[in-house]
Structure 1
Amino acid sequence: MLAKVLNDLQEITDELAAGLNRAAFVEDGSFRPLAASAQIGRIDDARVRAMLDRSPTPEHLRYFIDCGVAIAREALRIPASAEHGLLPRVMVPVMSGARTLARIWLIDADPPVDDEDIARTIQAGCEMRPHLLGVSEGKRRHVAVGSQVLRDVQRAGASRRHALFRRLRDDFQIEDLERAYLCLITFVSPTSGQVELVDGVLDTLVNLLGMHGFVAFVQGEDVVALVSSPREAAEALLEQLSAAARHTAEVHDVSVTAIGLGGALGSADGFDRSFRQAEFAAKVANRVPELNGRAWWESLGEYRLFSAVDWDPAGIASINQGVAALISERRIPLAATLLAYLEREGNVSATSDALNVHRTTLYYRIERARELLGEEPTGQSRFSIHAALRLADLAGLLAPAQRNC
């Protein structure tokens, strides 16, 4: 069915281009190419890249969205951009209610697109709509069914869970559970800090990642996904998920705060474990800048030590009472200084440079921290002190602030 629809769209696109004597380019609602006419007239790098990469570059996508393309419900003129190497364009959306099924693009130059050209493009969009609706509704049903099955897996007992996984294998190509992972993607609104995810977010993710080996559902601000990739290593899979999530966030004007990938399921019985690991990986990714907002459980190293500990003063106290006392007494600069010192293996020069403080100040803070801890940060004590300080930092309790030393 999809092949026939694409052929029909290509025919309509070619007829439109011939009638306008200019090239036409059609994308789906996720900015993925559907059809393109033979090139007529001028062309720019953005169109070439979109065809070759099957997606606009992040910079071009951001520019189009800033121009209002993602929310446009009628023909829109996009100005040229020398900075991005873009010629002027006209974009005509193909709508179904409030949902964008596709976008038809024309280069607005040599000669400029006039009202008659736009009217003919709108008519071509009307001819495309029935074909697009059939595919779109089929995809949406597929996504909805997959979402429900995955929700059922999350709630099911052991015996029913095995039956549901057989359905995931047969209908959604979740086959090799040794290479299947739970993933958690957290989105937020850049304005309110919260977001109620709509179905379109999930539709866009599925369009970008493909319908095979990927099922997901929306849970509050999170997308919970089960992804299977027999050929890709987990690190490469995480990169693909991250790229798709960033693209989705751009399209829907939200932000991605964290992506966590759990360990491989291994079997249906590994679902809960992989989900907890994905949650924890996302939690760490959101707190450790070096991870760039994404993390895989298996690569978290020593951070995994904190997966079974509460990220609060009680959890810190369970590791080291002295560090918990530093935090509770609001001796934050002392705790932060000691952590920086231990992270640099006791190198005074490197620590003073990192904190931008004089060595005298550094020595004073370290000595005061030792006094308040009641023990030296050496040997076995060093490990528990360092771990407790690292947990305090993860929990956001060492954030810079004016505190008593």
Structure 2
Amino acid sequence: MKRWIQRARPAGEALQSLVDGLAEDLGRSVVLDDPLVRMICTSRHFGDEDPVRVRTLLQGVADDEAIRYVLSQGVAGWTRPGHLDGRDDLGLRPRYCVPIRERGHVLGILMVVAKPGDLTSADTAAIDRTARAVAVEMYAERLASDVAEEHTRTLVNRLVGPDSTERCEARRLLLDDGLLPAGPHVVVTGVAVSGLRGPSGQVEVALRGALEPFRRTRTARGLSAVDQDRAVLVQVFEREPTEEDLEVQSRAVVRSLETFLDRQAAVAVGVGGRRADLVDAWISHDQARVAVRAARRLPRLGGIGDWDRLGEHAVLLQLPDAALNDSLVPKPLRRLLDGGSHARLEETLRCFLENAGSVPRTAEVLEVHRTSLYYRLRQIQEITGLDLDDGGHRLVLHMGLRLWDLLRVPAEHPV
């Protein structure tokens, strides 16, 4: 599968100068990372480089396992400097880490390659002075970035929102500002994260980081809007993306979020239908919301739903959560499903219906003799009281099974 690499973002000259100056004073390698442990700027080597540092410089981003390890130690949440233990299996030497904070915001992590006892009090004092100067520079950048981010978030939310007047105005502003082209291939992707207990804002930062690579790719331009534990990505492609293109992209988003967040986090990605112009982005967005619900309720999707692949689930999942409950499952089918004592018959019924009621094909797939299959089908008819030769009865059973699948996973809030 193609790996999407997030290159280091350009650093301001002031930050680079501070990092280089500290490294020269200490005679040690220094790196400044963002809160997701992605490199912002780094010093030259001093003979203390390790495999992780070398690969980071070559790739522009640390290995997923290295990032996952650092974040699992809670470094981004530290309130004071401390040492990060090395990991020989990852090729990571110990580091002295200083969280960069300003007015409640976690801005980054300053790291010096050093093990406990290597640094003198003069060294740590120099690191502390540099960290405070870095915090001032990064906070100024954060303020400017927040203004632009809020403007973008507002436009995206209005573009996919319910008000047609606001949608048209948002489209006009996006085009006038050159933020997005009008078309020809518009796709909206929704992302939602649940099941995570962690520092406030952690998910929001992770979502921004996971979607950032897709704001500009070789074939598309995009904008994202992040709101706590959910996000929307609007993209305009030069050529129509294939289902495989969008699946690769979605899996890259899932992989990034699984790297940036605790493994307990449940990630759901939903891809909306393809539209021809930004004016219809709201339709793709509504479809993406349905696809997110599918990703959450259907484990076989692996956390990724695509509207164009949902089939009949696209209709069923437009029912509100309050209506999507056990009462929708037909009583005849419940007699077969309740208690789980008829698992073999349920499998037989599913196969029979999926194969359009073809006995030869069903027997082949199940690898049973037709006599055995006819016996099972008679049992199903006796238990349900429905006639499998009747198209309407088969439809009731088929839709009932689809609903049953959706009800196995509890509902979550939508994107």
TM-score of the superposed pair, with normalisation by structure 2: 0.77
How far does residue 77 in structure 1 lie from its aligned partner after superposition?
Answer: 0.9
Q: CA deviation at 1:46?
A: 1.9
Measured in 1, the distance between the counterparts of 2:324 and 2:79 equals 46
Name the SS for the 1:90 alignment partner. Answer: strand
Trace 1:44-193 onto structure 2 (pairs within 5 A).
44-108=50-114, 112-155=118-161, 157-171=163-177, 173-190=179-196
- Work out the number of aligned pairs and report it: 384
Q: Secondary structure at the match of 2:19?
A: helix
Q: Which amino acid aligns with 2:265?
A: S
Match of 2:276 in 1: 266
Quote the residue 1:312 is aligned against: 325
* CA-to-aligned-CA distance 1:241-280 (integer Å, 9 cap, x gap): 5434553465454713311011123234423421221112
Q: Which residue of 1 aligns with 2:413?
A: none
C-alpha spacing 1:147/1:337, structure 2 compared with 1 (3 Å): farther
The separation in 2 between residues aligned to 1:104 and 1:340, in whole angstroms, is 60
1:197/1:269 CA distance change after superposition, 3 Å:
farther
How far residue 39 of structure 1 moved from its aligned partner, in angstroms, is 1.6
- Pair 248,397 (structure 1): closer, same or farther in 2 beyond 3 Å: closer
Check conservation: 1:143, 1:206, Cα contact below 8 A. no
**Equivalent residues of 2:296, 2:409 under 8 A apart:** no
**In 2, Cα distance between equivalents of 1:196 and 1:265:** 32
3-state DSSP of counterpart to 2:62: coil
Q: How far apart in 1 are the matches of 2:147 and 2:254? A: 21
- 2: CA distance, partners of 1:132 / 1:232: 39
* Residues 94 and 102 in structure 1, CA contact (< 8 A), matched pair in contact too: yes
Q: Distance in 1 between matches of 2:77 and 2:42?
A: 23
Q: Which whole-Å CA distance do the structure 1 matches of 2:110 and 2:312 have between them? A: 50
| Structure 1 stretch displaced more, 69-78 or 44-53 | 44-53
* Counterpart residue number, 2:256: 247
Distance 2:333 2:409 in 1: 11
Alignment correspondent of 1:18:
24
Deviation at 1:302, TM superposition (A): 5.2
Is the contact made by 1:6 and 1:34 (CA closer than 8 Å) also made in structure 2? no
Gaps of 5+ in 2: 1-7, 356-360, 411-415
Shift of 1:151: 3.0
Alignment of 1:294-309 (within 5 A): 294-301=304-311, 303-304=313-314, 306-308=316-318
The whole-number CA distance in structure 1 between the counterparts of 2:314 and 2:211 is: 30
Aligned-residue offset at 1:26: 1.4
Following TM superposition, the consecutive aligned residue runs of length 4 or more in structure 1 with deviations greater than 6 angstroms are 195-198, 360-365
Structure 1 length as normaliser, TM-score? 0.78
Shift of 1:35: 0.9
In 2, the alpha carbon distance for the partners of 1:196 and 1:13 equals 27
* 1:298 shift after superposition: 1.8
| Residue matched to 1:228 | 236
Tell me the distance in 2 between the aligned counterparts of 1:245 and 1:189.
15
Residues 121-141 of structure 1 deviation map (CA, whole Å, 9 limit, x = unaligned): 222222223332232222211
Report the equivalent of 2:381: 370
Q: Which moved more, 1:32-41 or 1:254-263?
A: 254-263
- Residues 1:214 and 2:214 are matched in the alignment: no
Residues 207 and 284 of structure 1: CA distance in aligned 2, closer, same or farther (over 3 Å): closer
Q: Distance in 1 between matches of 2:197 and 2:373?
A: 39
Residue type at the aligned position of 1:385:
L
Per-residue CA deviation, residues 1-48 of structure 1 (Å, 9 max, x unaligned), is x99952222222222211111111111223221111122123222223
Q: CA deviation at 1:290?
A: 3.2
Q: Give, in whole Å, the separation in 1 of the partners of 2:186 and 2:149.
A: 18
Structure 1: gaps spanning 5 or more residues = 354-359, 399-405
Q: In angstroms, what is the RMSD of aligned CA positions?
A: 3.9
**Offset of residue 81 of structure 1:** 1.4
**Corresponding position: 1:27 with 2:33:** yes
Counterpart CA distance in 1 for 2:253 and 2:125 is 34
Partners of 1:246 and 1:205 in 2: how far apart?
Answer: 9
Contact 2:14 2:137 in 1 (8 A): yes
SS of 1:213 mapped into structure 2? strand
Deviations 1:56-81 (A, max 9, x none): 32221221122221211222211121
Q: Is this contact kept in 1: 2:273–2:308, CA < 8 A?
A: yes
AA in 1 matched with 2:195: S
